[in-house]
Amino acid sequence: MSVFTAAADQSICAPLPVLGKDVTVPLVTGGEVTYAALDYAASAPALQRVWDDVAAYAPYYGSVHRGAGYLSQLSTDLFESSRVTVAEFLGCREGDQVVFTRSTTDSLNLLAAALPADCQVFVFETEHHASLLPWRDARVTYLNAPRTPAQAVATLERALADRDPSPSSQLRSSRGGPTRPALVCVTGASNVTGELWPVKELAAAAHAHGARIVLDAAQLAPHHPVDISELDVDWVAFSGHKLYAPFGSGVLAGRSDWLRDAEPYLAGGGASRKVARRTDGGVDVEWHTTAARHEAGSPNVIGVYSIAAACKALTEAGFDSLVAREQQLVSEVRAGLAEVPEVKVLSLFGDDAPRVGVISFVVEGWNSSHFAAALSAEYGIGVRDGLFCAHPLVRTLLGSDPQDVGECGAPEAEPGEKSLNAIRVSFGAGTPDEHIERFVRAVKELVSEGAQWKYRTEDGRCVPDRGTAQH
């Protein structure tokens, strides 16, 4: 079994340096190793550039909007210029709005609250729960998992053509009858398999049937250019913490009409333009029609600025070179896993499907939580195990019954027993080659030689049994 003694400077060979690149962690087998953060799909480490930009602004931090003081005016300018930066990063069209939220989940819940009456939502069962679940107050049609990009488009086209009629709508379907307004929600890149979805083709299908489409770009934007105009989507949602910015900020960008016509997502200061008492004792409110309508309360200026800083850093680094380098890492991981017969990589669209740096797999004879725990405790590698907040998709990929139990990140079987979980490794612009090499080597060693330590389940997690070596 290898003992890793990687020096801190081995962790800096990546296109964009990130915070924590020199952090060392203890191994249960003894010694320390530079931490290999390979859980980017959950939260990417913050870029050093982003942290430096935020630190430079911090002394000038002040309240935004309507403040007379210099720091308030400076912060307001920074906040609104960040909106422009994000719009440019996404290729927004004239008239599009950029609304700042807390996360992708928050963005899609905002859009769900802004749906017009009688709207029907179409969403594939393969979506992350952030895209799958917000539409509780609308009529939702869940579409079965496609096995090819072409099948995804065909499935959507059939569903839209057959959608429910609604006399209140003036739209006309391809069959000539009235249809209810519709929204399609689709991911750009799967958070489980990393596979790219045919977003442009799905958008064309949606628009051909009088529907709109929102793109969940949480996993796409950090790895690949996202251009609203080119893809012809109506909205894009993503999170800062997956785009190399700190937690707590997100974006919903796109068409303004549904957002402008909807009740404010949150009622309060900032969303209101005028408020006056009525003679009957009530209150009359005139709401903003701009993005401020859905940004009530004191905004997260630091979070917003960090997203803008990340957008600038990725743009300046050049997506072409970042994508090319990431694809090399994807190839190395897939080639390494292919050399281990016990490893099964999960995929919807097949081995040749284009994908970002997100790969999920299971290992024959291993509980996935046990395997992930051994990677961490014995190799200093951080991956994720579970159902990745995409329960229907992982169950489909594992060939299990949709009703089988299983919780996100919680093993329901003891170490060594089969579990309804998978292991996910994910990486990006801050990942050095050594982390990928260590991961592939660790997988091979664990499968061929077994874990060095015994593990047990504690509070829903598989953890090392301290002081008890396996052999």
Residues carrying an active site annotation? 389
Question: How long is the chain?
Answer: 471
Paired residues of 344 in beta bridges:
362
How big is the CA angle at 360 (ends 218 and 471), to the nearest 5 degrees?
135
The residues, any chain, with a CB within 8 Å of residue 108's CB and separated by 6 or more, are 130, 131, 134, 185, 214, 216, 237, 252
**Token reading at 246:** 């700190």
CB atoms within 10 A of CB 262: 17
CB atoms within 10 A of CB 458: 10
Residue 413: is it exposed, middle or buried by C-beta count within 10 angstroms (0-12/13-18/19+)? middle
- Euclidean distance between CA atoms 39 and 34, whole angstroms: 15
- Euclidean distance between CA atoms 14 and 12, whole angstroms: 6
Helices marked H in 339-466: 368-379, 391-397, 433-449
Residue with tokens 């029907």: 120
**Token reading at 140:** 């939702």
CA 441 to each of CA 5, 150, 247: distance values in angstroms, whole numbers, following the listed order: 14, 36, 32
Paired residues of 461 in beta bridges:
458
Paired residues of 383 in beta bridges:
none
- Euclidean distance between CA atoms 4 and 27, whole angstroms: 9
Which amino acid, residue 350? G
Tell me the CA end-to-end span of the chain in Å, nearest whole number: 11
Which amino acid, residue 325? R
- Euclidean distance between CA atoms 306 and 387, whole angstroms: 29
